[in-house]
Every structure is written in C-alpha cells, then in structure tokens.
Structure 1
Amino acid sequence: MIHSFASALLALTLPMILPTAAQTTVRYMPLGDSITEITCWRSLLWTQLQETGYQNVNFVGSMTDENPAGCSIENYNHHSEGHQGYSAVGIVNGNDLVGWLNNNPADVITMHLGTNDIFGGQTTQQILNAFTTLVQQMRNSNPRMKIIVAQILPIFVGSDNTQVQALNSAIPSWAASQNTTQSPIWVVDQYDGIAPSDLRDDVHPNSSGDSKMAAKWYPAVVGAVNTVLGATTTTQSLYGQCGGLGWTGPTVCVSPYTCTFGNEYYSQCL
C-alpha cells in the first residue's frame, strides 16, 4: 500500500488561502489517459474550485468531450488533455505534449499517466524516463510550470497491480530528483484508499472513485495556483511541509493536523 507520507516527500508547500479578484487567471491542464478523459473527477474538481473562490482557474486543453461519463455535473469547463488509450511513452514518442502546450499553454498541470504503459509492458524505468521527458517539455513551454504528478490508481486486473505499486513506490524519489524551486513538482497519492468498489471496471473510477480523486487533487491544485499567484500563508495544510533542515516556511498546521517528523530534511502536516 502506498501511504500519504510517501506521496509528499518533496520540500514544497500547499498554501490554502483564497485569491482576490485582482489576481490573474491561472491556466490548468488536466493531462492523462482515459482516467482523465472519460471520468467525472474533473467536473467535481472544477465545481469545488468554483465554490471556494477559485473562479480564476481556467481548465485548458484540446479535448472538450461533452460529458463522456454521464457525470451528474454537466455544466463545467470540459477542456483537458485526457486521451483514451494514451501512454506516457506513447505521448513522448509522438511528441504530442509539445503541440498540446503550444496550442493551450498552461501554468499548472496534473498528470495521471502510466496505466496504459503498464498494460503495454513498459518497465517502471521506461515510464519514469518518459515522465522526465514530459517534465522537460512542460518546462520548455513554461519555465515556471507547476507540476502535480499522481501515484496512479490501482489496476485490479491480473497481476498488473504489482507493477502499479512498483511505479508508485518509485515516483516520490523520481519527483524529488526533478524538482526545482522555479518549477516545483507535487506528488499526489491517488492509489491509497481506492478499493475495487471505487472502480467501475477494475481500472476507471466510478462515482465514489471520482469523488476520492477530486478530493486528493484539490489541495495540490490550490497550492499550485496560489504559488503561481504569489500567495503567501502563515499556516500549512494537509500534506504540506512544516519543518526540516533549511526550511523557512510555515511551521504551524491548520487544524486538526499536526506537524509530524519524517526525517531531518522533512516534516509534514498529517
């Protein structure tokens, strides 16, 4: 099982304050495969952002499928770069992301990729190599890109979940190696807490799975948006860093979370 602490080993903050009307629009691209394209978590995330003061977050991307999963929320910004059947390696080989970002520049990206790579027999290292190229392409498009990478949903088909766990275990250290101050990478654990009953076909989320995914994306997207806007805060939210060698940010967690020691370099709100 991949746990929350493992998904937040980066020295990054997730500030949770509301932007003001004077602040600019932030362009957010949901990037992924069918788990991004034909599911409903985007509608839930968009609604939560709208209802909590983040009307200045504009979803961008070439895909505008009209409610492909029959989502209960139909009136939302449908734009994304969720593409059924696509893999991280395939996107790199096709140089697809370069064109997508040229046509729809972004400030913040969430990436849930790797499922189709695993179905296609790619190794963990091949997937991570593709992730590295995608991050480079994101930064070539926008040197200040804020990047949120998922530890992916489980696959309850055959033995594929063993490789999902291997990939998810490798993602935090890979992300730490790619992280920069100018273009930080957050890791969001979309694996933990997902049961077979949360997936409609052992792969794609159903309504309960969509709700769990949106709830996990939300604090990271808000943190990234606030970072783009230059927002500051004196308290830290769930999973945010609150201590460690050289840390100069907030050391107090929002209630009911407490600052929990991880190692000499990292403590986080749990």
Structure 2
Amino acid sequence: MKIPAALALAVATILAASPTVPAHAAPEPAGPLKVMPLGDSITYGSGSADSRIGNRTGAPTASGYRIDLQKRLGAAGLNVDFVGSQQAGPKGADRDHEGHPGWRIDQIAANVDTWLATYQPDVILLHLGTNDMAQNKSVDPTATRLSTLIDQIRAGRPDADIFVQQLVQGHIEPYKSRIAAYNKRIPGIVAGKDDKVHLVDQSSIGGLSEFDQLHPNDDGYAKMAYNLYRAMTKVYGDAGWPAGRNPYAGTATTLCFRINKTVAGRPDWHSECSRWTLRAGRWQRPGTATQTYLLHIKARVVTAKARKVVVKDRYLKRTRVVTTWLSDDPYLTNAGK
C-alpha cells in the first residue's frame, strides 16, 4: 500500500526532530548515576594518608581513588551517587563503596549478588585480584575467576557498565611478578565480553607511587582516579568534560611511605611523608647523608726534645653529615621485612 505523501512527510519531520541518544547516555539529573567501587583494600583506600609534611604518623584518611574521582566527575557536571555497604573516607564526602580489605575474588563473588540487588549500581569499578596474587594463587585460575565474576555481575545488572582495572603493581618480589603475569590476562578477558565492559590500565602505578608492598599512596591513588575518569569520559562524557589535572605530568609532590624503624629494640611501623621533586628526569627528595672524606695534613717540621722532626704529608679518613638530594626508595631502604 502506498503511504500518502502528506503522512510520509509528517513522519519524517517527527523523526528528524527526535534527539539521538548515545548508547551509554548517563541518566537525567533527576536520577544520579549510581557507582559501586568494588574490590579489596585498594578500593577501600588503604595507604591513603594525611600527607602534610612533618606529620610523622601520616594519619590514615582512606580517601583512596574514590574521593578524587568524585571531585572530577562533579566538576564535569555528572550527577553521581557512590553506593555500597562500606563507608570510608573524610567527613563530608560520599563515603559509600564495596571495598573489603584482604578479600579475594571468590570472597567477593560469594556476596556480590546481594550487593547488586541491594544497591542496583549503574556502574561498577572493579579492581580485584591483588590478594589472590599476594596469597600465591595460580594466575590462570585467578583470571578465570575474574572472568566468571564479570559474567556474574552482568547477570545481576544487565545494563550496567563494568570498568575492569588492571592491578596496581606490587612493589617488591614475589608480588610484582605475579601481579604482572595476572595483568597480562585481563585485556583478553575484557575483549571477550560485551561492549559495556571496559578496560582501565592501572599497571603503570608503582615505585614511589606505592605506600607499601601492595597499596598506592595518595600519588598512586590520584593516578588511579585520573585513569578511571578518562575511561568514564569515553563512555559518559563529551567534548565539554574538563581534562583535569594530570598527576603523571607533575614535577613536585608529597609522597608517604610505610616505614619500619627499630625503636628501643622493637619495630615501629609508621608513615613518613616528604616532598619529592623531579630533577633531570629523576625523582629526588631533600635529606641528609653521611659523607666520607679525606682530611689532608700537610708535611711539616716539628721540634721534639730539641730535635727537628719532619712529619710527612698524610690523609686522614673522616665522616660528616651533609645536606643533599636523595634518590633512594624509602620503602625498600627502611621498611624491613
């Protein structure tokens, strides 16, 4: 049957006037985007500390990547509500999350259905597997458990976006090698899922950006937040989203480390914070060092018992404390075992 020309024109006009909605468009302002940070102690924010210089105790804040990410998303104009059964972070912030210190993938999987049903997140930020590697679980079965967990989350929240993060580096062996091997498996896992599962590379975070063997310090968490923000920009953002501060481009920052020094014969674990500066491509901090030097005693003639004696030219080894720039790794130098 031939459609009348007038009716065809009216239909075409209506379709042309209808806005095109992006496949991953965020909810309208009346309904905030519910974001669930999901994982272990790194999601919780362990290692995030008060970084004021001179604060020997480095009072924990548990801000992690979450607080910085909230600020970035807010500045972009995205209405976000962080959700979860756990609370951590400074007062006045959105403190909800689902980070469980010490938990492995199987432990999260045993509880995730309840959390998803209760909080109904639109977005899941998944950083998980660190404890599996720290407990020397085999890489391949751990990667399989991660893949199964992603499928489990998808079944519970069919329309949610899942941001799967490659892990922050381990600081020392054997953690570093295990985590690196596990990280190599994650891109392939994500590639095998649907287009609402996104890869976020956090594997560049390590070295001076880590508070201890496994956890980032606030510099590392700032980098995590930046990487997550960039990944979310590709899904929810547009040209109007601000780039924000790039923590990878900084030339000076305050870094905190978990240090172990022996005091009165007993281990004394605490946080130490200091200011670091990028100098000639190398991160350094002001400090003191013991320097060995040779004291030159020139040859001379002395009189002893009415006789003249020639004392030969000589050098004496001495030490002194000098102010200098240090490039050492405070954790490896002072952390102990």
- The reply to whether TM is greater than 0.5 is yes
Q: Does 1:188 align with 2:200?
A: yes
Q: Which has the larger radius of gyration?
A: 2
Contact 2:139 2:178 in 1 (8 A): yes
In the alignment, the residues of structure 1 paired with residue 234 and residue 227 of structure 2 have an alpha-carbon distance, to the nearest angstrom, of 12
In the alignment, the residues of structure 2 paired with residue 222 and residue 51 of structure 1 have an alpha-carbon distance, to the nearest angstrom, of 12
In the alignment, the residues of structure 2 paired with residue 202 and residue 196 of structure 1 have an alpha-carbon distance, to the nearest angstrom, of 10
Q: Deviations over 1:89-146 (max 9, x none)?
A: 3323xx1111111211111111111110001221122212211221122112211121
Q: What is aligned with 1:139?
A: 154
Contact 2:26 2:33 in 1 (8 A): no
Contact 1:44 1:211 in 2 (8 A): yes
* Structure (1/2) with the larger helix percentage: 1
| Percentage identity across paired residues of the two chains | 31
The alignment yields a C-alpha RMSD, in angstroms, of 2.4
**2:32 equivalent among 25, 35, 38:** 25
Contact 1:19 1:53 in 2 (8 A): no
- TM-score, with normalisation over the residues of structure 2? 0.55
Gaps in structure 2 of 5+ consecutive residues: 1-21, 46-61, 244-337
Q: What is aligned with 2:173?
A: 158
- TM-score, with normalisation over the residues of structure 1? 0.68
Contact 1:18 1:52 in 2 (8 A): no
Runs of 4+ aligned residues of structure 1 deviating over 4 Å after TM superposition are 17-23
Gaps in structure 1 of 5+ consecutive residues: 1-14, 68-73, 227-231, 238-270
Contact 1:47 1:76 in 2 (8 A): no
Q: What is aligned with 2:41?
A: 34
In the alignment, the residues of structure 2 paired with residue 79 and residue 203 of structure 1 have an alpha-carbon distance, to the nearest angstrom, of 22
* Amino acid across the alignment from 1:31: L
In the alignment, the residues of structure 2 paired with residue 60 and residue 225 of structure 1 have an alpha-carbon distance, to the nearest angstrom, of 18
Q: Does 1:89 align with 2:106?
A: yes
Q: Does 1:107 align with 2:130?
A: no
Q: What is aligned with 2:74?
A: 50
* Amino acid across the alignment from 1:58: D
Q: Deviations over 1:162-190 (max 9, x none)?
A: 1111111111111111x214xx2111110
**2:182 equivalent among 167, 170, 181:** 167
